Amino acid sequence: MENVIQMNNKRLVLLMLAAAGLLMVPLVAMQFTSEVDWNAFDFTVAGVLLFGTGLAIDFALRIVTGFWTRIAAVLGLLFILFLVWAELAVGIFGTPLAGS
Protein backbone atom coordinates (compact mmCIF):
# COMPACT_ATOMS: atom_id res chain seq x y z
CA MET A 1 0.00 0.00 0.00
CA GLU A 2 2.80 2.40 0.87
CA ASN A 3 4.40 1.76 -2.52
CA VAL A 4 1.19 2.82 -4.30
CA ILE A 5 1.03 6.02 -2.25
CA GLN A 6 4.63 6.87 -3.10
CA MET A 7 3.98 6.24 -6.81
CA ASN A 8 0.89 8.45 -6.75
CA ASN A 9 2.83 11.22 -5.00
CA LYS A 10 5.63 10.97 -7.57
CA ARG A 11 3.07 11.28 -10.35
CA LEU A 12 1.55 14.35 -8.70
CA VAL A 13 4.98 15.94 -8.28
CA LEU A 14 5.81 15.24 -11.94
CA LEU A 15 2.51 16.75 -13.08
CA MET A 16 3.11 19.87 -10.99
CA LEU A 17 6.68 20.18 -12.31
CA ALA A 18 5.37 19.88 -15.86
CA ALA A 19 2.84 22.64 -15.18
CA ALA A 20 5.54 24.84 -13.66
CA GLY A 21 7.80 24.15 -16.65
CA LEU A 22 5.08 25.17 -19.08
CA LEU A 23 4.49 28.30 -17.05
CA MET A 24 8.18 29.17 -17.34
CA VAL A 25 8.02 29.30 -21.16
CA PRO A 26 6.39 32.75 -21.41
CA LEU A 27 8.56 34.02 -18.53
CA VAL A 28 11.72 33.09 -20.41
CA ALA A 29 10.29 34.36 -23.72
CA MET A 30 9.62 37.75 -22.12
CA GLN A 31 13.36 38.07 -21.50
CA PHE A 32 14.19 37.76 -25.20
CA THR A 33 11.33 39.43 -27.06
CA SER A 34 8.83 42.20 -26.55
CA GLU A 35 6.15 40.20 -28.37
CA VAL A 36 5.37 38.21 -25.23
CA ASP A 37 3.95 40.66 -22.72
CA TRP A 38 2.33 38.88 -19.80
CA ASN A 39 1.41 40.53 -16.53
CA ALA A 40 0.76 38.99 -13.11
CA PHE A 41 -2.90 38.31 -13.97
CA ASP A 42 -1.91 36.35 -17.10
CA PHE A 43 0.50 34.20 -15.08
CA THR A 44 -2.15 33.67 -12.39
CA VAL A 45 -4.80 32.53 -14.88
CA ALA A 46 -2.34 30.29 -16.71
CA GLY A 47 -1.15 28.85 -13.40
CA VAL A 48 -4.69 28.09 -12.27
CA LEU A 49 -5.44 26.41 -15.60
CA LEU A 50 -2.23 24.37 -15.71
CA PHE A 51 -2.09 23.36 -12.05
CA GLY A 52 -5.84 22.71 -12.00
CA THR A 53 -5.53 20.46 -15.02
CA GLY A 54 -2.60 18.67 -13.42
CA LEU A 55 -4.62 18.04 -10.28
CA ALA A 56 -7.62 16.90 -12.33
CA ILE A 57 -5.43 14.47 -14.28
CA ASP A 58 -3.96 13.08 -11.07
CA PHE A 59 -7.44 12.69 -9.61
CA ALA A 60 -8.68 10.96 -12.77
CA LEU A 61 -5.72 8.57 -12.74
CA ARG A 62 -6.40 7.71 -9.10
CA ILE A 63 -10.11 7.03 -9.71
CA VAL A 64 -10.25 5.46 -13.18
CA THR A 65 -8.96 1.90 -13.43
CA GLY A 66 -9.05 0.75 -17.06
CA PHE A 67 -6.11 1.59 -19.32
CA TRP A 68 -8.14 2.92 -22.24
CA THR A 69 -10.52 4.71 -19.90
CA ARG A 70 -7.55 6.45 -18.30
CA ILE A 71 -6.27 7.50 -21.73
CA ALA A 72 -9.71 8.85 -22.64
CA ALA A 73 -10.01 10.73 -19.33
CA VAL A 74 -6.59 12.37 -19.68
CA LEU A 75 -7.17 13.27 -23.33
CA GLY A 76 -10.58 14.70 -22.43
CA LEU A 77 -9.08 16.87 -19.70
CA LEU A 78 -6.31 18.07 -22.01
CA PHE A 79 -8.89 18.86 -24.69
CA ILE A 80 -10.90 20.93 -22.21
CA LEU A 81 -7.70 22.76 -21.21
CA PHE A 82 -6.99 23.48 -24.88
CA LEU A 83 -10.50 24.81 -25.51
CA VAL A 84 -10.43 27.11 -22.47
CA TRP A 85 -6.91 28.31 -23.32
CA ALA A 86 -7.89 29.00 -26.94
CA GLU A 87 -11.00 30.87 -25.85
CA LEU A 88 -9.00 33.04 -23.47
CA ALA A 89 -6.27 33.63 -26.06
CA VAL A 90 -8.24 34.41 -29.21
CA GLY A 91 -11.93 34.05 -28.42
CA ILE A 92 -12.83 31.16 -30.73
CA PHE A 93 -16.34 30.94 -29.24
CA GLY A 94 -16.91 34.67 -28.73
CA THR A 95 -17.75 34.47 -25.01
CA PRO A 96 -17.20 37.43 -22.69
CA LEU A 97 -14.22 35.56 -21.16
CA ALA A 98 -12.11 36.52 -24.18
CA GLY A 99 -13.13 40.14 -24.02
CA SER A 100 -15.04 40.01 -27.28
| Half-sphere exposure for 88 (CA within 13 Å, toward CB) | 13
Residues 69 and 80: their CA atoms lie apart, in Å, by 16
For the chain, the structural domain boundaries read 2-98
Decide if pLDDT at 95 tops 90.
no
Task: Write the pLDDT tens digit of every residue in 36-81.
Answer: 889 999 999 999 999 999 999 999 999 999 999 999 999 999 999 9
Quickly state the pLDDT bin for 1 (edges 50, 70, 90).
Answer: low
Whether the Cβ atoms of residue 72 and residue 38 lie closer than 8 Å to each other: no
